């Protein structure tokens, strides 16, 4: 496979990697470009764009609501691809699409992968795509279109399963920080630290980013001590929802995490 | 041949499309449920509770005046006489015993009209287990008596405020709470939907319905299979139970009746096989009402129990393979059939079951046929809807 931006990032930067998630079409249909530019300018390392879905079962209230708003704004995969086609050339940062399987399957998996490559998407996270199905039906497609696939692990994932996931993941592994949906805001517990360390000691080939419940500088720093970095989603959506001046407030938020 | 494969597929439908966070839960269930269900001690406990607590076997009643009206011999399988008023409890009794054997401490469930929620709250009270039921905020408003029944039984009822605030969203919320509590909690799904092994497991708990029909029909008619079995389908658990032992008996016509709502083409319908196409919801690939962008469409039916945008994967397969016949009955026709049964036989049916009864008007049959209609629930919970409709 050809090199892609996700691999380059992890090659050039060993830690403190910050990935920022937002839902496409939120708060307004045409905010995609402005948000992506602001994220890159503020110095985040990866942009993760959520494809809105009517039934996001792994997401908490904040991201659910952003999905509903985005769908009411009329966001679709077709519109998202056309937005990305216009702006991708202007950005250097790796871009990942995160979405549930049904809208992708209805779009057509091959057409979807092809389009992702065309508009400069580097990787995918599809939480309800089972690994077995991926291996049997889609792995070849992902490779053809130079897309890295990220699987999730949680504190309940067995060591054998983590090894299997590590074998079949390329790019990075998404470590769900606790048994939770997105946006659960808790302090990092000793049990979580033990889980981060247990996985850290496994000598996996893939780098790891920690997500779910990472919301501010303190939780980001803790996560970054135990993995290559972390993903912030719900807390960023809250910033977008409240923002009067999007670019400025995105900049302030991301700088506050990295400070 | 209707058979589930090792990956949980019936033909093209089924599987386990779940976030990785639920993988250990689903694996635990998959690896243990068959063995537990096959054990003698499980069977003894399950059978004894079905008999002494649920009140099984439920009668197979020859509905003479209804038969005269339609010029064919009609039997009603009286699931409406089960404890709590519907077939739902067959499954909750099975799953609560299973949950105990898996050392689970808490139960969660989703509910639409509240029947499955009540059946779950009931068995949790029986077993002394903590119970939380997720219910769409809209459904909580329109099914108040069932909300209070659950609370009287000691369950906590939590409103699902996302999306359309109905059954689909209650199911999403229950899955989220399972992700949040993966170790000590068992999720009792109420229909033949969800990730493998739920659809097959629930069907097996409900299969007692067709097992009894076989024995009762043999006694009454000297043959163990009718010509036609009719059942309503939302997710499809009562139909799966009524069809189960006849899946591979090709002589028996299996008629599944969906809710057409205000009409299949009205935009206010729940006739999934007519309006849906293959898609993925709540962990399985099935027929699904959705937009061309793959967003799930809100269904409509006067009967809350049929108000679901998908259908169990086994039913999607029955439809796609041609083994099942699928009909759709509109709100108005179901209400008329409900009143008709009340007047002819002195049985007020649940509006879900009234859909199955109304299918008699659409179905082609011979005068010599024997028809079994699964009367899945009683109409007490629907009195307000009957009164509002008023045409009696």
Please judge whether B163 and A105 are an interchain contact, meaning their C-beta atoms are less than 8 angstroms apart.
Answer: no
Contact B106, B130 (CB under 8 A): yes
3-state secondary structure of A51: coil
pLDDT digits (tens, 9 = 90+) for A118-129: 999 999 999 999
Check whether B285 has a pLDDT greater than 80: yes
Domain ranges of chain B: 16-49+88-202, 55-85+207-389
pLDDT digits (tens, 9 = 90+) for A197-216: 999 999 999 999 999 999 99
CA distance A102 to B292: 11
Nearest to B276 by CA among B263, B291, B266: B291
Using CB atoms, which residue from B20, B25, B288 is nearest to A153? B20
Q: Which residues in chain A are closer than 8 Å to B176, comparing Cβ atoms?
A: 57-60, 181
Substitution target from A128, A176, A177, A186 for chain B, most B beta carbons within 10 A: A128
Collect all residues with Cβ–Cβ distance below 8 Å to B101 and sequence separation of at least 6. B32, B36, B42
Q: Taking the CA of residue A143 as centre, how many other CA atoms within 13 Å lie in the half-sphere pointing to its CB?
A: 10
**Domains delineated in chain A:** 16-258 (3.20.20.70)
Q: What is the mean pLDDT of chain A?
A: 95
Using CB atoms, which residue from A68, A103, A130 is nearest to B16? A130
pLDDT digits (tens, 9 = 90+) for B88-144: 999 999 999 999 999 999 999 999 989 999 999 999 999 999 999 999 998 898 888
CA distance B311 to B320: 12
Which residues pair with residue B231 across a beta bridge?
B256
Q: What is the pLDDT of residue A2?
A: 66
Q: Which residues in chain A are closer than 8 Å to B20, comparing Cβ atoms?
A: 127, 151-154, 157, 165, 176
Q: In what order do the strands lie in the sheet with A17-23?
A: A148-149, A123-125, A95-98, A46-50, A17-23, A229-232, A208-211, A173-176, A152-153
* 3-state SS record for A183-250: CCCCCCCHHHHHHHHHHHCCCCCCCEEEECCCCCHHHHHHHHHHCCEEEECHHHHHHHHHCCCHHHHH
Catalytic residues of A: 48, 59
Which residues pair with residue A125 across a beta bridge?
A98
Contact B85, B377 (CB under 8 A): yes
Q: What is the mean pLDDT of chain B?
A: 96
Contact A209, A229 (CB under 8 A): yes
In chain A, the percentage of residues whose pLDDT exceeds 70 is 98
CA distance B4 to B312: 13
Point out the least confidently predicted range of A17-21, A89-93, B7-11.
Answer: A89-93
Using CB atoms, which residue from A102, A154, A158 is nearest to B294? A102
Which residue has tokens 């960023």? A236
Distance of alpha carbon A140 from its chain centroid, rounded? 22
CA distance A103 to B292: 9
Check whether B292 has a pLDDT greater than 60: yes
Check whether A186 has a pLDDT greater than 80: no
Residues B318-341, mean pLDDT to the nearest whole number: 98
Same CATH fold, B55-85+207-389 and B16-49+88-202?
A: yes
CA distance A26 to A39: 15
Q: What is the pLDDT of residue A1?
A: 56
CA distance B153 to B176: 24
Q: How far is CA B83 from CA A77, B87, B277, B378, in A?
A: 48, 9, 36, 11
Distance of alpha carbon B389 from its chain centroid, rounded? 24
pTM of this prediction exceeds 0.90 = yes
Using CB atoms, which residue from B21, B162, B169 is nearest to A58? B21
* Residue B62 φ/ψ, nearest 5 degrees: -80, 110
pLDDT digits (tens, 9 = 90+) for B204-259: 999 999 999 999 999 999 999 999 999 999 999 999 999 999 999 999 999 999 99
Which of the four pLDDT bands, split at 50, 70 and 90, describes residue B186?
Answer: very high
Please judge whether A133 and B17 are an interchain contact, meaning their C-beta atoms are less than 8 angstroms apart.
Answer: yes
Which residue has tokens 């962008």? B293
Which of the four pLDDT bands, split at 50, 70 and 90, describes residue B17?
Answer: very high
Check whether A187 has a pLDDT greater than 80: no
Helix (H) or strand (E) holding B16: none
Check whether B2 has a pLDDT greater than 90: no
Which one of 3.40.47.10, 1.10.238.10, 3.30.530.20, 3.40.50.1100 gives the CATH number of domain B16-49+88-202?
3.40.50.1100
CATH class label, B55-85+207-389:
alpha beta
Residues 234-293 of B with CB under 8 A from A: 279-283, 288, 290, 292-293
Which residues pair with residue A47 across a beta bridge?
A20, A95
Which residues pair with residue A49 across a beta bridge?
A22, A97
Give yes or no for B12 touching A (CB within 8 A).
no
Substitution target from B31, B171, B293 for chain A, most A beta carbons within 10 A: B293
CA-based R_g, chain B, Å: 19
Helix (H) or strand (E) holding A19: strand A17-23
CA distance A177 to A179: 7
Q: Which residues in chain B are closer than 8 Å to A103, comparing Cβ atoms?
A: 293-295
Nearest to A33 by CA among A196, A185, A250: A250
């Amino acid at each position: 496979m050809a090199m892609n931006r996700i691999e380059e990032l992890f090659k050039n930067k060993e830690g403190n990697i910050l990935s920022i998630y937002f839902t496409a079409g939120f708060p307004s249909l045409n905010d995609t470009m402005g948000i992506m530019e602001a994220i890159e300018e503020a110095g985040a390392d990866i942009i993760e764009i959520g494809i809105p879905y009517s039934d996001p079962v792994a997401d908490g209230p904040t991201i659910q609501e952003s999905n509903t708003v985005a769908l009411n704004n009329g966001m679709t995969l077709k519109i998202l691809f056309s937005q990305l086609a216009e702006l991708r050339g202007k950005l250097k940062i790796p871009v990942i699409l995160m979405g549930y399987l049904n809208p992708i399957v209805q779009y057509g998996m091959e057409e979807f992968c092809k389009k992702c490559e065309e508009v400069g998407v580097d990787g995918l996270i599809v939480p309800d795509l089972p690994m077995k199905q991926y291996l049997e039906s889609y792995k070849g497609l992902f490779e053809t279109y130079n897309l890295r696939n990220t699987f999730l692990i949680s504190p309940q994932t067995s060591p054998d399963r983590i090894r299997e996931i590590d074998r079949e993941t390329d790019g990075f592994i998404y470590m769900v920080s606790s048994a939770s949906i997105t946006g659960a805001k808790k302090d990092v517990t000793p049990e979580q630290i033990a889980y981060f360390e247990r996985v850290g000691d496994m000598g996996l080939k893939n780098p790891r980013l920690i997500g779910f419940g990472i919301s501010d500088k303190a939780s980001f720093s803790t996560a970054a001590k135990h993995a290559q970095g972390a993903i912030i989603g719900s807390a960023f959506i809250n910033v977008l929802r409240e923002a009067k001046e999007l670019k400025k407030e995105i900049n302030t938020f991301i700088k506050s995490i990295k400070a | 041949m209707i058979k589930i494969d090792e990956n949980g597929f019936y033909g093209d439908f089924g599987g386990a499309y779940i976030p990785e966070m639920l993988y250990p839960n689903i694996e635990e269930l998959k690896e243990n449920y068959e063995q537990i269900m096959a054990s003698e001690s499980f069977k003894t406990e399950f059978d004894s509770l079905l008999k002494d607590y649920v009140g099984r076997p439920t009668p197979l009643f020859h509905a003479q005046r209804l038969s005269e009206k339609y010029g064919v011999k009609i039997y009603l399988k009286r699931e409406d006489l089960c404890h709590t008023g519907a077939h739902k409890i067959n499954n909750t009794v099975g799953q609560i015993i299973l949950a105990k054997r898996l050392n689970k401490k808490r139960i969660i469930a989703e509910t639409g009209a509240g029947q499955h929620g009540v059946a779950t709250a009931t068995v949790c009270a029986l077993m002394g287990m903590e119970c939380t039921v997720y219910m769409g905020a809209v459904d909580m408003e329109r099914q108040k008596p069932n909300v209070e029944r659950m609370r009287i039984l000691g369950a906590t009822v939590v409103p699902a405020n996302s999306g359309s605030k109905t059954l689909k969203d209650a199911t999403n919320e229950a899955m989220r709470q399972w992700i949040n509590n993966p170790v000590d909690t068992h999720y009792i799904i109420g229909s033949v939907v969800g990730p493998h092994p739920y659809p097959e497991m629930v069907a097996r708990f409900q299969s007692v319905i067709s097992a009894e029909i076989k024995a009762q029909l043999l006694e009454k008619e000297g043959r163990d299979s009718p010509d036609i079995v009719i059942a309503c389908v939302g997710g499809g658990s009562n139909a799966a139970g009524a069809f189960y032992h006849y899946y591979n008996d090709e002589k028996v016509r299996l008629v599944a009746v969906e809710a057409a709502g205000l009409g299949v083409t009205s935009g206010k319908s729940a006739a999934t096989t007519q309006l849906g196409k293959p898609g993925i919801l709540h962990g399985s690939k099935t027929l699904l009402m959705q937009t061309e962008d793959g967003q799930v469409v809100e269904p409509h039916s006067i009967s809350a129990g049929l108000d679901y945008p998908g259908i169990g994967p086994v039913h999607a397969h029955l439809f796609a393979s041609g083994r099942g016949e699928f009909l759709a009955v509109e709100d108005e026709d179901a209400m008329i059939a409900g009143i008709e049964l009340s007047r002819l036989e002195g049985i007020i049916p649940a509006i879900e079951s009234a859909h199955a009864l109304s299918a008699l008007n659409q179905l082609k049959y011979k005068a010599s046929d024997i028809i079994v209609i699964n009367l899945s629930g009683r109409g007490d919970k629907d009195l307000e809807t009957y009164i509002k409709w008023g045409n009696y």
